[in-house]
Chain A
């Protein structure tokens, strides 16, 4: 079973080509093909997980190219981390594909949506299965491309086209760092195979400043892809894409690729002197978690709340990895994939019913959309970290690791947890409770093809956390672990504290948005400068516009002038000179060359005109000439 794991990325890749070429002629206009490929992948992944739990690992390599004396190998591997990621991508992916049938119904580019989604799945699975940085990078750029295509799926909207470009360019900055990091590793170690790189780290061939630099450069790619500060600005705008895309790519899987990269190359970070690279990861993650959570409070667009929540949760994952909580970070990645996909799909269901993203127009939807409401409530509780839902177990572990290895970040994380609970229940109350504020909307429950995946994801979000529960010896910890970093045992007091903080956040949200003991308008007035700061998202976009975009445009304008007058001038001067030369040459051609040719023709004509009188056609004339010739010869012979 493990030996045929290569088929997992191939299936959706084939589905992509089939749908692109045959589109509407396929069953379900291509949707069934995509879902079939993902479904088979999900079954394969479950089988692989079953074998991986039994302790099986697998690795296969082939030489792709030889550069001098160094061979570039590509291959895939199965280990616990890969098995978990495969489950996340294929199971969440399958459910979202099914949901998309309902959500994308009637879209003019319906088959293409499933084609892109399949291509995304193929890239993501390649990324996850790769056992070397090269193939991982291939998948990495593949998911980046699909992200671009799907954010800009409704490219008729200028904002969607702009968001797609913004996402692509912003992540490209991170990817450039990552590529430099890959090259640094290749030239230091001479290979891109993970196991050989790790051997080089353990043997000390890759150590010291070089190791820290390589790890941080790789982390640069993760910062871009996982939308960490300061490259987080693309993810909120990426919500211009269809909601299933936001759920699959910009919440559950692709943005987690950065976290996966750090987890996959964890030894590089762990092995850097004094865990220097890990400390950077932890602080970037912590700052991102807190900053994005605070911005989430003031967003009115339901999907943007989710987007900032995603950034914040990715920050938690990075923080977890950074504070030596390898298992905690990966665990949170997995649980987050399920409950955030659930939240996004539920939000999509709401948008489907309301035809708007603005929560100010919603309200009271809990009565008309009971399934959406119920499942979204499960997702919100999981995100807040209320036991026994999935998010509690993983977030609690991250806080636990932070408490033991980096206390300042523990407090950052705790405040973040309070704010998380607050903003997600603000969203729940604004959407589902109170009166309906829009007067021309006619909300309705979504069709079964959308609610059934919601229920399935809700079940996962409710129960999946138990694989990391302490009662039966925390099986997840023994499955996905990093030997050098011992994980901290469960601490009941800390669990109670984090639960209390989450409940406090929910209570505060209820005070303001459910019972309305405090009006949100008065809160806004009371903290006007803070509110302005949050509404402007800490001025990151303005900072980039001022520090990057404006100078770039300024330089571009100067370069345009240079281009217009100097380079174009030089090109035009050469052109003019050659036009004059050509005119001279034309005269030469006309009079000298053509003249000679015409002269030859003229002379030939004249000579022919003279000589043609010789040809009389009368044999007697010829005979006369012959007779004269004979006479001349005879006289010549006599006189000689």
Chain B
């Protein structure tokens, strides 16, 4: 059995669903951020796999994957900073309890 594009896509889909599940179900803000990281990585697998099997000579998929990783690092930094700020003022990172802007 040779590993093809389909296998990569299935792994990517599973990884994305895990991330989505984490985002939807976790109440801890840090865990939600971690779910988002999983979904971004699922996207990266897709980009690299499509580059390898659909356009083998090109490097656009790799470059784009590197951009996404950079983006993910920035997102994690800003997200964690927000969580820190929320914790300092509200003494919780539980998203159900961060509701001061709800009417």
Contacts and interface: CB of A to CB of B under 8 A. Distances in A.
Interface string B60-103: 00000000000000000000000000000000000110010011
Interface residues of B, number: 9
A623 B20 CA distance: 9
A620 B95 contact: yes
A420 B69 CA distance: 140
Contact of B102 (A617, A623, A624, A627): A617
Interface string A360-403: 00000000000000000000000000000000000000000000
A627 B25 CA distance: 12
A627 B24 contact: yes
Instruction: Give the most central of A620, A623, A624, A627: most B CB within 10 Å.
Output: A620
Contact of A617 (B20, B23, B24, B99): B99
Contact of A618 (B20, B23, B96, B103): B96
Contacts of A620: 23-24, 32, 95
A330 to B, nearest CB: 103
Interface string A605-621: 00000000000011010
B57 to A, nearest CB: 31
Nearest to B21: A627
Contacts of B32: 620
Nearest to A623: B24
Nearest to A630: B20
B23 A623 contact: yes
Interface residues of A, number: 6
A618 B96 CA distance: 7
Nearest to B25: A620
Contact of A624 (B24, B95, B96): B24
Contacts of A623: 23-24
Nearest to B32: A620
Contacts of A627: 20, 24
Contacts of A617: 99, 102-103
A458 B93 CA distance: 125
A617 B95 CA distance: 11
A514 to B, nearest CB: 117
Contacts of A618: 95-96
Contacts of A624: 24
A209 B23 CA distance: 120
A621 to B, nearest CB: 9
A284 to B, nearest CB: 102
A618 B103 CA distance: 12
B1 to A, nearest CB: 25
B13 to A, nearest CB: 11
A391 B24 CA distance: 130
Interface string B7-32: 00000000000001001100000001
Nearest to A620: B24
Interface in A293-349: none
A261 to B, nearest CB: 94
A618 B99 CA distance: 8
Contacts of B96: 618
A395 B23 CA distance: 133
A5 B103 CA distance: 91
A617 B24 CA distance: 14
A64 B67 CA distance: 99
Contacts of B102: 617
Interface in B40-55: none
A504 B103 CA distance: 122
Nearest to A619: B95
Nearest to B101: A617
A620 B102 CA distance: 14
Nearest to B96: A618
A627 B24 CA distance: 9
B101 to A, nearest CB: 8
Contacts of B103: 617
Nearest to B17: A627
Nearest to B99: A617
B30 to A, nearest CB: 15
B61 to A, nearest CB: 23
Nearest to A617: B102
B100 to A, nearest CB: 11
Contacts of B23: 620, 623
Nearest to B102: A617
14 contacts: A617-B99, A617-B102, A617-B103, A618-B95, A618-B96, A620-B23, A620-B24, A620-B32, A620-B95, A623-B23, A623-B24, A624-B24, A627-B20, A627-B24
Interface of A: 617-618, 620, 623-624, 627
Given A620-B24, A624-B24, A627-B20, 5 more contacts: A617-B102, A617-B103, A620-B95, A623-B23, A627-B24
Q: 9 closest pairs, A vs B, by CB?
A: A617-B102, A624-B24, A620-B24, A627-B20, A623-B24, A623-B23, A627-B24, A617-B99, A620-B95
